[in-house]
């Protein structure tokens, strides 16, 4: 089994897995467990507080109840202590949406495929949330939804998610709108929806679908997964390249194309970020050379998300 890489430059006490080495573990479950072994044991901060709660009814206070839920106005009016009872007050519902389109099958310079990285990232997040007793579901898609597992925290959910994430990714072109529309159609309760994709979709219809999901009370987060070479054409030599989604072949000289490419790339990513932030969608861009543990730490500790 591959060994984790050396500790990070920041001097962290733990070792971090090199993503490319991690992906050589063929089983998703073993991969996630190797990555997560001991990493989150010291994390006690709940990610559930304040999310997905709907007021249901009052009930009398009993010793041991959390005083944060006391209705102080009711106490003043009636001289009795009541608590506001909420539906789903202890559990978060999270649906992971993982892109398996053809553009996700890219890797440069012996790095991990974007599809492998994205699925492992999603599997590790599922493992963490299920460990807290949260309900986790999954959509995998490549232009349209290919598999769908309803959110649950029941025994066996973890293995069902891992089996789905172990399946080969799709090979069709990127299409985000239809999967997001499907999510809107089938999700009846407010959820956290985490979209894991490279967002290389030229159709802007998906932006409208994200707005519809937000309008229906869902909370969204976007994890954009890219190979570092896609950001600046690094580690790429002049050669014939084939578009993974259209099959079109073209010669690219990175030295000639880099300046114009970077300008267009930055403009596109800025527009994506502004769209997400304008809707209150948590935005995070990651590259496949970054240890997944650090990505998860940044994601889970985001105050805007919860």
Q: What is the pLDDT of residues 134-176, one digit of tens each?
A: 999 999 999 899 999 999 999 999 999 999 999 876 666 778 9
Q: Supply 277's token pair.
A: 């932030």
Residue 220, strand partner residues? 193
The answer to whether residues 195 and 220 touch, using CB atoms and an 8 Å cutoff, is yes
CATH 3.30.365.10 fits 19-45+89-300, yes or no: no
User: Could you tell me the residue ranges of all domains in the chain?
Assistant: 19-45+89-300, 54-87
- Residue 261 CA to residue 291 CA, distance in Å, equals 26
Residues 6+ apart with CB under 8 A from 205: 177
Task: Tell me the pairing of strands 135-141 and 93-99.
Answer: parallel
pTM for the model stands at 0.77
Closest CA to 116 of 27, 34, 177: 27
Which pLDDT value is given to residue 77?
63
Say what percent of the chain tops pLDDT 70: 67
Question: Is residue 201 predicted with pLDDT exceeding 60?
Answer: yes
Q: Which DSSP state fits 199?
A: -
Of 48 and 292, which is predicted with more confidence? 292
Q: What is the pLDDT of residues 36-48, one digit of tens each?
A: 875 664 454 444 4
Band of pLDDT at residue 2, cut at 50, 70 and 90: low
- Residue 164 CA to residue 64 CA, distance in Å, equals 41
Helix runs in the chain, H state only: 19-22, 28-36, 72-78, 114-131, 157-166, 177-186, 205-215, 228-232, 254-278, 292-300
What radius of gyration, in Å, describes the C-alpha atoms of the chain? Answer: 21
- Residue 162 CA to residue 149 CA, distance in Å, equals 11
Which pLDDT value is given to residue 292?
94
Burial (CB < 10 A; 0-12, 13-18, 19+), residue 279, is middle
Q: Supply 114's token pair.
A: 């974007």
Q: What is the pLDDT of residues 96-111, one digit of tens each?
A: 999 999 889 989 888 9
Which pLDDT value is given to residue 11?
40
User: Is 196 strand, coil or helix?
Assistant: strand
């Amino acid at each position: 089994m591959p060994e984790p890489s050396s500790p990070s430059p920041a001097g962290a006490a733990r070792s971090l897995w090199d993503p490319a080495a991690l992906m050589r573990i063929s089983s998703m479950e073993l991969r996630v467990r190797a990555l997560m072994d001991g990493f989150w044991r010291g994390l006690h901060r709940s990610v559930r507080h304040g999310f997905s709660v709907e007021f249901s009814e009052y009930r009398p206070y009993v010793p041991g109840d959390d005083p944060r839920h006391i209705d102080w106005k009711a106490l003043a009016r009636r001289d009795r202590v009541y608590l506001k009872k909420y539906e789903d007050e202890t559990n978060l519902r999270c649906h992971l949406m993982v892109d398996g389109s053809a553009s996700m099958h890219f890797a440069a310079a012996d790095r991990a495929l974007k599809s492998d990285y994205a699925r492992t990232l999603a599997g590790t997040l599922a493992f963490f949330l299920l460990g807290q007793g949260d309900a986790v579901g999954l959509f995998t898609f490549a232009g349209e939804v290919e598999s769908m597992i309803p959110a649950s925290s029941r025994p066996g959910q973890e293995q069902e998610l891992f089996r789905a994430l172990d399946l080969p990714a799709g090979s069709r072109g990127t299409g985000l709108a239809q999967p997001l529309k499907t999510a809107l159609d089938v999700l009846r309760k407010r959820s956290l929806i985490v979209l894991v994709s490279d967002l290389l979709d030229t159709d802007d219809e998906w932006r409208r679908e994200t707005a519809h999901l937000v309008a229906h009370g869902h909370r969204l987060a976007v994890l954009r997964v890219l190979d570092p070479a896609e950001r600046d054409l690094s580690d790429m030599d002049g050669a014939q390249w084939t578009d993974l989604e259209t099959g079109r072949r073209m010669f690219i000289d990175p030295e000639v194309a880099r300046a114009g490419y970077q300008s267009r790339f930055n403009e596109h990513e800025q527009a994506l970020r502004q769209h997400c932030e304008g809707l209150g969608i948590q935005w995070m861009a990651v590259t496949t050379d970054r240890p997944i543990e650090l990505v998860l730490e940044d994601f889970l500790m985001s105050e805007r998300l919860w």
